[in-house]
Amino acid sequence: MKKLFLLLPLLLTLQLTHAQILKRIGRNAQRKVEQKIDQKVDKAIDDAVDGKPKTKKESGKSNDDAAGTEGTGNQSGGNGKSGTLKSYSKFDFIPGEKILVEEDFSQDAIGDFPDKWNTNSTGELVNVEGKTGKWLSLSKDGVFMPEFITSLPENFTLEFEVMCNPEYSYYSTPFHLYMASLANRKDFQGYKFLGPAKKEAVEVWVHPNDAGGQRGHSGFVVWNAGKESMENESSTAQFHKSNNYVKVSVWRQKQRLRVYLNEEKVWDVPRAFDAEKKYNTLLFMTGRTHDANDRYLVHNLRLAVGAPDTRNKLITEGKFVTNGILFDVNSDRIKPESYGVLKDIAGVLAENSTVKVKIIGHTDSDGDDKSNMDLSKRRAAAVKTALSREFNIDAARMEADGKGESQPADKNETPTGKANNRRVEFIKL
């Protein structure tokens, strides 16, 4: 009984407002009070944030991914280390056909809030030791909107990376993503937790700490007319206090919602999106924290549209192009999250055993011409090797070549244009 009395003021002090957190606290309260709440929040993120931009090579540029997200370094699994293709053998995520948004914050200065975003709170761009590129450190209790995203069509993929400080408190709120239908986009801050009466959205959230402190949590909510019409939650090993990095991949196909945390498919909901609604806004949301050091950081946001039709493109039209084969920085090492795309291509080749293809790598214009040409050739060769070794496609059916930066598909003046130029082509011979 004494423990229950101790719990009541604790809950009042925390002032947690989100429905999922309240539910989980209720379910796990008795078990939680029996544990000593003595977690010490690791300040590694504070020590890691150096407040200075990373220096580049003498050329001033680096060509990070021939067909992938610039600046992701060696982040491949939940622990931030490169894994193997086979570790993603159940990963069936395939990015959209055309990249509409590639937000790497390269146009903004360290210490600033991104110019093309809006918020009712604050945040700043930081460098993180051991990680490449700029990360958006989100302040407590805020709504954050990339204003340049104005449409979420019936077929799209969304990818981004999330970090939190180690030992993120169980009592601090989750990291929320809302894919919303907003009649007035200027009223975006009204989505704060309880929201307006006519909230229309599909919500996905992650939290790095469950009641036992050994796993993380994820959930989704479908909002209709301000009410939860569907929701669920589950634990995950992909994002938790000792594994504080995760890549989130969201795939919408008409009404269907699929969500992946690293290689794990955590949600596959057939009727999440309303086919009659126009989803036009992307919102990230944070809430009040139990510890002053608790925070989330976001990196490399990519929105792509269209459902890739690999078989028709390659067999009928004679060419298939993908931005979904990712590589480590300045390397021909294929990232394991490329498995879904490679498996899709391998399936088409296996079903059409007489078809031969030429694999051609392309880069953006960062770096010098000679290095980009060499890198594109090595990456094309790496794709050929992966298809042969991992998927048993006869190597004699494939040729490999690279064009470097010589054949851009888009302008090399923006992160999005560069992302579309970093690609791999499959040409039917």
Higher pLDDT, 108 or 198: 108
pLDDT in tens, 337-386: 999 999 999 999 999 999 999 999 999 999 889 999 999 999 999 999 99
274 and 366 part of one domain: no
326 and 212 part of one domain: no
Residue found under tokens 């899709």: 344
The pLDDT confidence band at residue 89, using thresholds 50, 70 and 90, is confident
- The residue out of 305, 324, 351 marking a domain boundary is 305
Q: Say if 82 falls within a structural domain.
A: yes
Q: What is residue 64's predicted lDDT score, i.e. its pLDDT?
A: 52
Buried-state track 20-57, b at ≥16 Cβ within 10 A, e below 16: bbeebbeeebeebbeeeeebebbebbeebbeeeeeeee
134 and 181 part of one domain: yes
342 and 298 part of one domain: no
Q: Say if 38 falls within a structural domain.
A: no
The pLDDT confidence band at residue 166, using thresholds 50, 70 and 90, is confident
Burial category of 3 from C-beta neighbours within 10 Å (exposed 0-12, middle 13-18, buried 19 and up): exposed
Q: How far apart are CA 316 and CA 337, in angstroms?
A: 27
* Contact criterion met (CB below 8 Å) for 333 and 327: yes
Please choose, from the candidates 343, 219, 200, the residue with its C-alpha nearest in 3D space to the C-alpha of residue 269. 219
Q: Say if 39 falls within a structural domain.
A: no
Q: Any idea which of 7-16, 108-117, 129-138, 233-242 has the lowest mean pLDDT? A: 7-16
Strand partners, 201: 180, 223
CATH code for position 278: 2.60.120.200
Buried-state track 140-175, b at ≥16 Cβ within 10 A, e below 16: bbbbbbbeebeebeebbbbbbbbbbbbbbbbbbbbb
20 and 130 part of one domain: no
**For residue 114, what are its two tokens?**
């991104």
29 and 58 part of one domain: no
Q: Say if 396 falls within a structural domain.
A: yes
346 and 395 part of one domain: yes
Q: How far apart are CA 218 and CA 229, in angstroms?
A: 18
| Number of compact structural domains in the chain | 3
Write the CB contacts of 56 (distance below 8 Å, at least 6 apart in sequence): 62
Q: Say if 418 falls within a structural domain.
A: yes
Q: What is residue 194's predicted lDDT score, i.e. its pLDDT?
A: 53
Q: What is residue 130's predicted lDDT score, i.e. its pLDDT?
A: 85
287 and 411 part of one domain: no
pLDDT in tens, 114-139: 999 999 999 999 999 888 899 999 98
294 and 244 part of one domain: yes
Q: Say if 128 falls within a structural domain.
A: yes
User: Hey, what amino acid is at 76?
Assistant: S
The pLDDT confidence band at residue 234, using thresholds 50, 70 and 90, is very high
Domain containing 7 equals 2-33
CATH code for position 410: 3.30.1330.60
* Contact criterion met (CB below 8 Å) for 96 and 261: no
Q: How far apart are CA 60 and CA 378, in angstroms?
A: 22
- DSSP E strand stretches across 296-405: 296-305, 319-322, 357-362, 398-402
131 and 13 part of one domain: no
Q: Say if 250 falls within a structural domain.
A: yes
**Half-sphere exposure (CA, 13 Å, Cβ side) for 48?**
20
Q: Any idea which of 117-131, 168-182, 199-213 has the lowest mean pLDDT? A: 199-213
48 and 117 part of one domain: yes
Q: In percent, how much of the chain has pLDDT > 90?
A: 61
Higher pLDDT, 394 or 196: 394
**What's the pTM?**
0.80
**For residue 115, what are its two tokens?**
């110019």
Instruction: Count CB-CB contacts under 10 A for residue 382.
Output: 21
Is residue 13 over pLDDT 90? no
Q: What is residue 94's predicted lDDT score, i.e. its pLDDT?
A: 93
Q: What is the mean pLDDT of residues 386-415?
A: 93
**Helix pair 19-33, 2-14: axis angle to 10 deg:** 150
243 and 341 part of one domain: no
- The residue out of 305, 331, 350 marking a domain boundary is 305
Q: What is residue 352's predicted lDDT score, i.e. its pLDDT?
A: 95
